[in-house]
Each structure stands twice: as structure tokens, then as C-alpha cells.
Structure 1
Amino acid sequence: MKESTRWLWLAGLLLTAWLVYLLLPILSPFVVGMFIAYLGDPLVDRFERWGMSRTWGVVVVFALITLVTMVALLVLIPLLGKQLMRLYELLPQIIDWVQHSALPWLQLKLGLSDDFWQFDKLKQALSGNLGKTTDFVGLIVSKVTASSVAVVAWLANLFLIPVVGFYLLRDWDVMMAKLRGMLPRSSEKRIVGLMGECHEVLGAFLRGQLMVMVALGTIYAIGLMSIGLELGLLIGVLAGLASIVPYLGVAVGVSAAMAAGLFQFGVDLYPLLAIAGVFIVGQMLEGMLLTPWLVGDRIGLHPVAVIFAIMAGGQLFGFTGVLLALPAAAVIMVLLRHAHVFYKHSRAYGVEEPID
């Protein structure tokens, strides 16, 4: 590539990055719609192979997405809402138990002073607000209605997601073919190879890990509720969502479930062993069945890299950055792997060999 061409590409990339930064406030529905199109494209392609038109395949996929969403809204959301309200009601009792049961035991074991923990002010604040849920909801409603423009914009973005996702999914293959046709002929093979690796890593992570999250959340929630844990559904769902980062889900789930179990059952050994058993079974199923079957071994994203990517994306670009964090991390990982190979065959490393 000539020097002038390189500078032209660099200027184009910088201009694109600047435009993306300026358009961040309106990008969320388009990013979510792109994710829907990316995740749904293989299923639509399968429907096409079965003789269905592209448009009708997209309609079927969106009908399935709508059905799952409605089930979640009608069944799961109300149950989680009830558990959140129950947790809000139990908070003063939990703090009282921590202050008069858990902390004295911990102070005895660690040799801490008696006034090391001070929870009186927090308990008083929670107790004073308990029973004022109506006022709390009214405050939220008043804040929301006071910023009607923001509410309208949020609703518009929410409505745009399925519209953008539908059209992107319908024209996905056409857009990919046009983008490939715009690539420089001399570099097409290498760029397509890189994008193929990015697609393999990203597709395996997004589709596989999302299914693993849903499966683990279901296993944890059913298991915890079956042993009588009052907040079992809420903890199971949180543990499933945290499973986006390997091992974080089980750490969050075990910690929260054991704390809830100690509060509800006391030091009774059998319920605590049952809680531990739920997460042991979940981890065994994840390691031996779910991850090998749904995700495979082509991800290559280290757990620390996943955590850093999500935090960095949120810090730099807010909610849109969180959505783009994992795709960007997957692409960067593939590019770094090829850069490492290029460096090992370069004069800077000490050995200059041709790269295929």
C-alpha cells in the first residue's frame, strides 16, 4: 500500500471514529438492532435453505423474539418485581441480623473491636423509609414526567429497535456482499480471513454465552426455589446474568445465596449444603455439557479481558459502550493475534520471513 493511501485510510478511520463519538446519544437502538440482525441471521439463513423467502424468515424470527419477550414480561418480570419488593421489606431485618448475629461472630473470630461496625444510622434510614413505597414510586413518576422530552426520546428509541433490527436482518446478506465488494482487491483475501475469524469468535461468544446464561439462570433459580429459599428466583437470575463473565456468576450466586440462606435458615447445615449443591450441579453441567456444546473452544476471551472490556466500554461511551465492548474485544483479540504473528516474522523481532 502506498504512503498516500495509508494516510487516506487513517484519515477515514479517524473521521469515522469522530462521527461515531458525536452520534453516540442516538446509536443505542441501531447497535441493539445490529445485534438482533447478527444473532438472527443464521436462523433466517436456515429458513431460506428450507425454501422460505428471506422476508418470511425474518417475520418468523421476529415472531419468536416477540413471543419470548412477552413470556418474560408476563411471567418473569412480575415475579422478579415481587422479590425485589420483598428484599426491600427485609432489608432492615437483614441489617439487624448482620449487626447482632453475623458481625459479633466475625468480631470474635478476627479479634475486632466492639465499635468496629456501625450500622445504626443505615438501619434507621431504611426503617424510616419502609412502608413509603408509594411515595418512592410517586417520586420516580414525578421525575420522569418532569422530563417528558427524555421519556419520548427513550420510547422512540425503544420503538426503533425492532424496526431497525427487522430491516437490517432482511438485508444482512446483501449488505455483507456490498461491503465485501468495496474492499481493495489486493487485500480482500486477508481482510475476509480476519473478519471470518472475528465472526467465529464473536458468534461463538454471543450466541453460546447468552444461551449458557439463560440455562444457568434457569438451573440456579429452579434449584434455589425448590429448596425453599425465599429470594431464590432473584438470586438465580442475577447469577445467570453475571455468568456473562466466566466464574463471576457462580461467585455472585454462592455469596448471595449463602447470605440469604443464613438469614432465612440460620446455621442449619442441610439447607446450606443444598444451596452449595445447586451451584455445584450448575457448574458441573456448565463445564461438561453447556459450554462445550453451546460455546465451544473458539472464544479465546479471557475472563479478565471480558471484565476490562465491559468496564472500559461503559466508562468511555456509556450504555452504547457496554453494548459494543465484547464485539470490540473479540475483534481486537483477533487483530492482536495476527499482529503478534506479523511481529514474530518481522525485522524488529530479528527474523524476517514471508507471511502467507
Structure 2
Amino acid sequence: MALPVRSQLKYWGAAAVVFLLLLWWLGNVILPFVLGAGVAYLLDPVADRLERIGLSRGLSVAIIAIVMLLLFVALVLLVIPTLISQAVSLSERLAEIIEGAPGTVASFQEWISTRYPGFVERFPDFADIETTLRNMLTNVTEALRSRAGTLVEGALASFSGFFNVIILFLIVPVVAVYLLIDWDRMIAKIDDLLPREHAPTIRRVASDIDDTLAGFLRGQGLVCLILGVYYAAALAIVGLQFGLIVGAIAGFLTFIPYVGALVGGILAIGLALFQFWGDWVWIIAVWAIFQSGQFVEGNFLTPKLVGDSVGLHPVWLLFALSAFGAVFGFVGLLVAVPLAASLGVIARFLTAQYRDSALYRGTGGDGTDIS
């Protein structure tokens, strides 16, 4: 006999609470397994396609593993050293900009005083802006140095941090390969455990969650890749220093709505102001690169690659990332999107059930008014 709805809600609620408690308690421990499961989930369609052309599951997974290994080696040997070099140079350049900011302000004051003689008399606080800026930069620099010193000291003092990174790189591929080999069998076993009376409904909801999550992750991943390459190439063409690292940052952060263009644009325009000061054509060109990128993303890339059917509203996604990241740390950020997609699909399903209920329609089962 089926359990009453109230009892089912109690069991599912208790299961959700246990899951969240385990996520909070075992966050760092389950990180490699969460990453491995995510990799296996993303690569399962590739393995299925290889199986459809006649390859065995084991051979399909072996081919995928070899290709991913080659891509990883190429990334480590070719791309990552360049990104690290530009990141180090960028940090040094930012330090030089901070140290030279008072002199730049003094030159700007002199230019304003020469071009507009009455400006300083009308705004006397402007004459003392150099001292204010110098004090502010000194405080910021000291805070950054103290925080950086603490972080570096902690990183150097803790061998376990480095050990955990090595373990992460070793465990994640192994977990992903084993899960990818047994993925279809695991799904089949889970399906066998579903209550027979509700199995069709659960399958339909799970299929909707899979479509939503897969469409978002794969589509948004392509959007991030395309925009990252575009920003990096375009900034390099206009001659902006550190254009590659700025483009990579902007492309990666595009996964978070509005953040990628905002952070990348501010960083690129700030660098352009110091590099091309006085040559406004190139500064405007850098601004136009990010404006055009946002236009193409909003009107072409996201509608075509992600689509409106995904149903993950940007505000809902931002809330999920913020909430799960704050409570569960880095693991929370990893599971935020899957959980947001799942909750969104479940909310739409429950809304449809409510609209089809007698409570919403105001009629009994025979169509008579129950008011």
C-alpha cells in the first residue's frame, strides 16, 4: 500500500536534511568524488555515441580517457605557463600602478589647473586629493600585504594543502573513469529501486532535470569558451598588455551571470587607461570589445546554445551560487547549479500539479463546485 502524501513528504524532507548535513560535514572529503561524478556525467553522452557506432563501453571510456589526458598535457605544457606568466606580470603591473597612482593624480591636477584655472579654487578638496589617495592606497597595500603574508605563511606551513591538491588530481580521473564505465548500470539499478506506482512520474521529472542541467552546463560551457577566446584574441589584437589572462578571466566568469563582463571589462579598461592614456581610440576599442561581446552573448550565443527552455533564471542561479558557496564552501559552488536546476524542475512540476488539483480549480473530483 502506498504511503500517504504527508508521510512521503516527511521521508523526503528527512533525506534532504541528511544530504545537506553530509555535504556540510564531509565537504572536503567528497570534493574529488563530486568532481569525478560531474566529469562522468558530462562525458557519458560521448561514451554513448561511441557505443552506438559499435565500440564496447570499456573501449569507449579508454578512448575518452586518452583524449582527455592528451588535452590536459597540452594545456599544462602550452596554455597554463603563459597564463601563469601573464598573471604574475599582471600582479606586478598592478603593484606599479598603485605605487604610481599619486604621481598620476598630481599630473592630472596640474593639467586641470592649467586648462581650468578656477577649478581648484572652486573645489579646494581637489587640491588635497593626492594626500587622500596616497593614504588610501597605503592602507589598501598594507592590508593586502598582511593578508597575502598570512596566506603564504599558511600555504607554506601546511604540507597537507599541497598533498590534497595532488590527491585531487589523482582521485578525480580514477573516480570519473570508474563511474563512466558503470554509469548506465548505476542508472538502471537506481531505476529498479523506484516505487513502481510512482516510477513513471519520477522518470519524467528526472529526465527534465537531466535535460535542464545538461543543456545549461554544455551550452554555458561553450558560451564561456567562445567568449574567452574572443576576449583574449581581441584584446591581443588591440595590443593590450595581459590580454590573454584578462580574456581567460572574463570568459571563465561568464558562467556567473553579468560577473564575467563586469570583472573583465573593469580590469581591461583599467589597464587600457594606464597603457593608452591620452590615446582614447584604443581605450574606446577595449570598451567596445566587451560591449560587442555582451551583445553577441545576449542575442546570439545564449539563446542558441543554452536556450530559454533551460529555465535557470540568472537571479536564481546567483542566489544558489551565493547560498551554497557560503554554507558549504567550494563543494557548495560545485553542487549549486545541479541543485538549482533540480529545484527549478521540481518547483515547475509541483506548480503544474497544483494547477491540476481540486484546491486550485475549486471543484471536486466530479467537477462540482466545492466552495
TM-score scaled by structure 2?
0.82
Residue 331 of structure 1 aligns to a residue whose secondary structure is helix
Change (3 A) 1:344 1:220: same
> Does the aligned pair in 2 maintain the 1:37–1:168 contact within 8 Å?
yes
> Does the aligned pair in 2 maintain the 1:310–1:325 contact within 8 Å?
yes
Q: Tell me the percent identity.
A: 34
Counterpart position of 1:22:
25
- 1:235-314 matches, within 5 Å, as 235-314=246-325
Query: 1:339 & 1:296 partners in 2: Cα distance?
Result: 23
Counterpart position of 1:89:
92
Partner deviation per Cα, 1:42-94 (whole Å, 9 max, x = no partner) = 11111111111111111121222222222222222211222222222222432
Counterpart position of 2:344:
333
Residues 1:119 and 2:120 aligned together: no
Quote the offset at 1:121 in angstroms. 6.1
Counterpart position of 2:115:
none
Counterpart position of 1:36:
39
Counterpart position of 1:48:
51
Quote the offset at 1:170 in angstroms. 0.9
Counterpart position of 2:172:
161
Counterpart position of 2:190:
179
> Does the aligned pair in 2 maintain the 1:235–1:253 contact within 8 Å?
yes
Q: Which has the larger radius of gyration?
A: 2
Residue 321 of structure 1 aligns to a residue whose secondary structure is helix
Query: 2:138 & 2:19 partners in 1: Cα distance?
Result: 51
Which ranges of structure 2 fall in alignment gaps of 5 or more residues?
Answer: 113-118, 366-371
> Does the aligned pair in 2 maintain the 1:345–1:351 contact within 8 Å?
no
Residues 1:70 and 2:99 aligned together: no
Query: 2:158 & 2:78 partners in 1: Cα distance?
Result: 30
Query: 2:364 & 2:227 partners in 1: Cα distance?
Result: 47
Deviates more, 1:115-124 or 1:71-80: 115-124
Residue 183 of structure 1 aligns to a residue whose secondary structure is coil
Quote the offset at 1:205 in angstroms. 0.8
Q: Would you say how many aligned residue pairs link Structure 1 and Structure 2?
A: 346
- 1:93-104 matches, within 5 Å, as 93-96=96-99, 98-101=101-104
Question: What root-mean-square deviation, in Å, do the aligned CA atoms of Structure 1 and Structure 2 show?
Answer: 3.2
Change (3 A) 1:193 1:124: closer
Partner deviation per Cα, 1:255-291 (whole Å, 9 max, x = no partner) = 2211111110003121022213322443344345433
Query: 1:313 & 1:193 partners in 2: Cα distance?
Result: 26
Quote the offset at 1:20 in angstroms. 3.9
Query: 1:261 & 1:150 partners in 2: Cα distance?
Result: 37
Counterpart position of 1:2:
3
2:214 to 186, 200, 203: 203
Counterpart position of 1:322:
333
Which ranges of structure 1 fall in alignment gaps of 5 or more residues?
Answer: none
Query: 2:299 & 2:269 partners in 1: Cα distance?
Result: 25
TM-score scaled by structure 1?
0.86
Quote the offset at 1:250 in angstroms. 1.9
Query: 1:242 & 1:353 partners in 2: Cα distance?
Result: 51
Change (3 A) 1:91 1:21: closer
> Does the aligned pair in 2 maintain the 1:346–1:353 contact within 8 Å?
no
Change (3 A) 1:352 1:259: farther
> Does the aligned pair in 2 maintain the 1:254–1:279 contact within 8 Å?
yes
> Does the aligned pair in 2 maintain the 1:245–1:307 contact within 8 Å?
yes
Amino acid at match of 1:160: I
Deviates more, 1:185-194 or 1:276-285: 276-285
Amino acid at match of 1:43: V
